[in-house]
Amino acid sequence: MSKRKADERSSSIDDAGGAVGIPVGADNAAANLISALKIKPADVKNMVKGEPLGTDINGDASLMMAVATELFVSKLAEEAWRQTTLDDVNRAEVTYNDLVNARSGNKDLDFLEESLP
């Protein structure tokens, strides 16, 4: 394989949480997204392996699970923070009750009813 073709092929996730499906050496939005993740795809792989029914997970799947988890946590945190602004008192912290109120006020979060009654 020529050097150029080797440089153009896509990388895969390694145990350190490297890029998936992104051309090696590419400087693009997807590469920036991966580097900005707080939850690394390698950590997702380890969590899945630790589950009783867990097996190995594809690198692309672990990346998407990491992105989806961060988006979900961000959405829940924003909704809970919005609850703090509804009080007459200006609070600087989110409480459990804010999470419960955020869940009950948003139909998209109804699946959390058992966890946040």
Q: Tell whether 52 is covered by a domain.
A: yes
* Count of structural domains, the chain: 1
CB 44 within 8 A of CB 66: yes
Range of the domain at 76: 3-112
* pTM for this entry: 0.61
Q: Tell whether 24 is covered by a domain.
A: yes
Q: Tell whether 117 is covered by a domain.
A: no
Q: Tell whether 36 is covered by a domain.
A: yes
Q: Is pLDDT above 70 for 101? A: yes
Cα separations (Å) of 109 from 36, 79, 80, 96?
Answer: 25, 10, 12, 15
> Tens digits of per-residue pLDDT, 20-70?
454 555 457 667 777 788 888 888 888 888 777 767 777 788 888 888 888
Q: Tell whether 19 is covered by a domain.
A: yes
**Cα–Cα distance, 32 to 87 (Å, whole number):** 37
What is the per-residue pLDDT for 27? 55
Q: What is the CATH number of the domain that holds 106?
A: 1.10.20.10
**Cα–Cα distance, 99 to 106 (Å, whole number):** 11
Closest by alpha carbon to 103, among 111, 91, 95?
111
